[in-house]
Structure 1
Amino acid sequence: MSILLNADPRRSTTPEYMPSLRVNDTKAGWHSKPVNELIMIKGERGYSWLYWSDGSKQIMAYTIKHYADRLPENDFLRVHQNHVVNQKFVRKTLLTHRGPVLRMACGAEIIVSRRRWTMVKKALQHLSIID
């Protein structure tokens, strides 16, 4: 079963091309949601929690790698083994005793793995949010 509806998920998200994910909602059933509304994905034991900008979240029976491979590279970052984040929803980066942390628009704080911190810092430097 294909998750993405559009042919080339690696292209940038321009107005004429907006990739979407097909998700299952308990009330609405299967429908498509644009990936630009996806805040982050949290992986948990072979399942993925998808967090959306409207405040909703959904659990899907696919691994985080399944989604990470299909999301636009320019917009999403794999910051940890268990987290993929949408760059446009990152509000602040913090250096804490636990290591680097990203504060998201939804209020969640995501720990960045120490091996990925250099890549994440470079990708987010244009946002001027790095402390």
Structure 2
Amino acid sequence: MSNRFINSVSDETLVSNLLLSVRVNDLKIGWQSKPIDDLIMIKGVRGYSWLYWSDGTKQMMAYTIKHYASQLPIENFIRVHQNCVINRNYVQKTQLTHRGPLLRLATGAEIVISRRRWSMVKKELQHLQPGA
């Protein structure tokens, strides 16, 4: 077996371990798969996760935020707080306010960034103009 084959298998395994869609349970429709591109953010609350979608809906799942965060592609998602993961595509701007560092999302929501993660988040989102 060549190294080229082994590398392609490991790359394929890595890609298959990342979420491309999330299975969620809607009370009216039942189980369905939703693409992660439509996922705005995940908030963790006491062992459960709230998934917020671009169509304005939110769903509670019985998995921790750590479960999802470890499987999401890092080029699209960033963990800004112990209990919050954000889709970078929905971030409009970063702000440093008297209340602390914030992210403003395309939905109008303001998300608090932890002080410990602020420098990392600021570096990752440097293409956005703070305060603009």
Bucket of the pairwise TM-score, normalised by the shorter protein: 0.7 to 0.9
Number of residues paired by the alignment? Answer: 117
Match of 1:111 in 2: 112
Task: State TM-score, norm by structure 2.
Answer: 0.84
Does the CA contact (< 8 Å) of 1:101 and 1:112 recur in 2? yes
Q: TM (normalized to structure 1)?
A: 0.85
1:7 to 9, 16, 19: 16
Structure 1 distance, partners of 2:25, 2:106, is 24
Contact 1:91 1:129 in 2 (8 A): no
**Residues 46-96 of structure 1 deviation map (CA, whole Å, 9 limit, x = unaligned):** 111000001110000111111100100110000001100000001111111
**Structure 1 CA distance for aligned equivalents of residues 65 and 41 of structure 2:** 10
Unaligned runs of 5+ in 1: 1-5, 11-18
Structure holding more helix per residue: 2
Q: Share of identical aligned residues, percent?
A: 66
SS at match of 1:71: coil
Q: Which runs of 4+ in 1 moved over 4 A?
A: none
Say what the alpha-carbon RMSD is for the aligned residues.
1.3
Secondary structure of the corresponding residue to residue 7 of structure 1? helix
1:34-49 pair list within 5 angstroms: 34-49=35-50
Unmatched 5+ stretches in structure 2: 1-14
